[in-house]
Structure 1
Amino acid sequence: MVWCGLVLVISGCRESGPPLNQVMAPVVPELTADVQQALLQQHSFGLRHGMRPGVFSIVGDSISSNKYFLKPLAHGTLNFGSYEGLEPMVEYYRRITVRSVDRVNFNSFDVDGMGALSGWKAAHVIEPGSRFWEPLCGPRETPLECELRIARPEITLIMIGTNDVGVTSPAVYADQLLHIVRRVQSYGSIAVLSTLPAQRAADGVDAAEPYNQIIVDVAAQRQAPLWNFWRALEALPSQGVEPGDIHPNVPPNERSADFSSAGLRYGMNVRNLTALQVLAELHVILHAPAALH
């Protein structure tokens, strides 16, 4: 499953071509045969080293750690709209317990992981002791290492940089993001990189653009799937964010897992949908010919 323009279609692998940018890159990655082969090799390595199928982790800031992202998918009946084909993907991840706390089981959708926290920049993810108060993490362990060790995720969804825009130099941010991706891959987890929502000034200049280009470039360099969330937002009213804000918006009823046409006018709903589409595409690649089961 891939996006061609803004239409979800079934297609083959992307042919090699000119370098991508945030405008050209599809929302859901079109993976070349070479990248698919690299992912299969990473996956095989990860399974041999204890990575767990049916488990994914999240690395990010408040856009990833808030209650509207993925958590509504953890339980209950969902409105899939015209995307009923994603229901088996939801059920697949619901079945796998990532961690139990006080006899309550949490799956990948609703577990509070160590890799995402409000206000974080890329540096926090790889800074020793950034989660020092967490009993599950070592006092000098980085949040990323703590999350990878505890969850042992088959896939790691990474969207970090919103708080770096205009604060961290692009060169430093690029080094930090590359470090994050390399570390995830060294564990044998599939690193998925997401672009950031736009941060436009009154003159229309998007301050996030150079950071998004770094994300695109690092994904290409490390053969990591690119989830172009920026492009998905650009098609929405107000680019899918609240006026004057950088966070994806939600419907008035706060149902961010509503995938009806009405629900998909909101940024967080589109983020949840496209996250599922990315996971579904990777599942087909990593577990073919079994596909969804």
Structure 2
Amino acid sequence: MFKKAFYAAGCAALLLIAALAWTMSAGSTPAAAQGDATEEPTLAPVVDPVLGEFDPASVESIDLAEIPILPEISAQARLVYEQGIAAGMNPAVFSKVGDCMTDTPFFLIDIGDGNYDLGEYEDLQPVIDQYTSSDINAFNRKSQAAAGGFNTASIVDSMWANPEFCDSGETPLSCEFRIAQPSVALIMFGTNDVQYLDASQFDFFLRSIVAETIRNGTLPVLSTFPTRPEFPEQTELFNKIVVKVAQDYDMPLINLSRALADLPDEGVDPVDTTHMTTPEDEQVAHFTDEALQSGFSTRNLLTLEALDAVMQAVSADEG
């Protein structure tokens, strides 16, 4: 139970709420603009968000139960990845970007440590090989862009960057990108945001994160987040915002909330709802039917499958 005690201590830290001290100017061309199907695809300009421009009506038609659990990798997503690799991003590195649902020994760490059993999912072994093939083990390395208490505001605020690793003026996100040069960023927020930010703020800061990630040459893979039972309406609204942001920028999305919907307690610890559930033996990377009734095991498997989708799409382009 050591891991569970460690995780609880990390998530019990004071939630960090960044001041709304800056805004970004809006671009003029939609990020998801598509060219003629017969033309060579080009990367669409990235649209910057403007604080206060969120329209609740823009997400009303989104049905979370109808959004696919695993992403299809669009032409725009492939271009972000491929151009990032050409610019020097590391194909063997992804970055974790998130709060205590991400900065936890239960998310991917066991895979990096070799404590996993793919079972019937053995076709995912090349994904593990890909991200453990260099001196940087992406699965178990500490990310500067993930910490207990983070929300979408704090990740782009230099106040919360760790001065031991980050340069003056860097945000946790920009610091992580400089250090790791990741080809992919796994982004999940919402657990803390539903309690402290309103919908307009969440939309603005999530879009800011995605825009910066794309400009860095890193492919953002977004994820909906587990329900907060205390904030059901905010959870639904914020998850719809996650979906809309992924759609607007034409970037991959893992619909984790849908995958968890039929699990016991929707995959959320009923005692501490900032935690997901784990198997009784805490073997969150042993993908048995029993283990996959827990939240963290499900998220670990879906993350591997999403990374595999990226690899397959890029390999198809190369072929």
TM-score interval for Structure 1 and Structure 2 normalised by the shorter chain = 0.7 to 0.9
Query: Aligned with 2:82: secondary structure?
Result: helix
Hey, what does 2:143 align to over in structure 1? 113
Shift of 1:265: 0.9
Q: What is the alpha-carbon distance in structure 2 between the residues aligned to residue 119 and residue 166 of structure 1?
A: 11
Query: Aligned with 1:59: secondary structure?
Result: strand
Q: Are residues 1:233 and 2:228 paired?
A: no
Q: What is the alpha-carbon distance in structure 2 between the residues aligned to residue 129 and residue 118 of structure 1?
A: 15
Query: Aligned with 1:165: secondary structure?
Result: helix
Aligned ranges 1:227-266 → 2 under 5 Å:
227-244=254-271, 245-266=273-294
Q: What is the alpha-carbon distance in structure 2 between the residues aligned to residue 241 and residue 40 of structure 1?
A: 33
Conserved? CA contact 1:191–1:225, under 8 Å? yes
Query: Aligned with 1:63: secondary structure?
Result: coil
Query: Aligned with 2:158: secondary structure?
Result: coil
- Deviation beyond 2 Å, 4+ runs, structure 1: 18-21, 75-78, 204-207, 287-291
Q: What is the alpha-carbon distance in structure 2 between the residues aligned to residue 132 and residue 77 of structure 1?
A: 29
> CA RMSD of the aligned region, Å?
1.8
Aligned CA distance change for structure 1 residues 77 and 256 (closer, same or farther; 3 Å):
closer
Conserved? CA contact 1:198–1:206, under 8 Å? no
Hey, what does 1:198 align to over in structure 2? 227
Aligned CA distance change for structure 1 residues 182 and 289 (closer, same or farther; 3 Å):
closer
Alignment partner for residue 50 of structure 1, among 84, 88, 98?
88
Alignment partner for residue 154 of structure 1, among 144, 158, 183?
183
Hey, what does 2:103 align to over in structure 1? 65
How many percent identity over aligned positions?
33
Hey, what does 2:308 align to over in structure 1? 280
Shift of 1:56: 0.5
Conserved? CA contact 1:162–1:196, under 8 Å? yes
**Residue correspondences, number:** 259
Amino acid aligned to 1:259: F
Consecutive unaligned residues of structure 1, counting only runs of 5 or more, are: 1-17, 99-106
Q: Are residues 1:91 and 2:129 paired?
A: yes
Conserved? CA contact 2:72–2:309, under 8 Å? no
Aligned CA distance change for structure 1 residues 169 and 255 (closer, same or farther; 3 Å):
same
Alignment partner for residue 67 of structure 2, among 5, 17, 25?
25
Shift of 1:28: 0.6
Query: Aligned with 2:119: secondary structure?
Result: coil
TM-score where L is the length of structure 2 = 0.77
Alignment partner for residue 183 of structure 1, among 204, 208, 212?
212
TM-score where L is the length of structure 1 = 0.84
Conserved? CA contact 2:221–2:251, under 8 Å? yes
Q: Are residues 1:164 and 2:210 paired?
A: no
Q: What is the alpha-carbon distance in structure 2 between the residues aligned to residue 196 and residue 96 of structure 1?
A: 30
Consecutive unaligned residues of structure 2, counting only runs of 5 or more, are: 1-59
Shift of 1:130: 1.1
Conserved? CA contact 1:21–1:216, under 8 Å? no
Amino acid aligned to 1:117: A
Shift of 1:282: 0.7
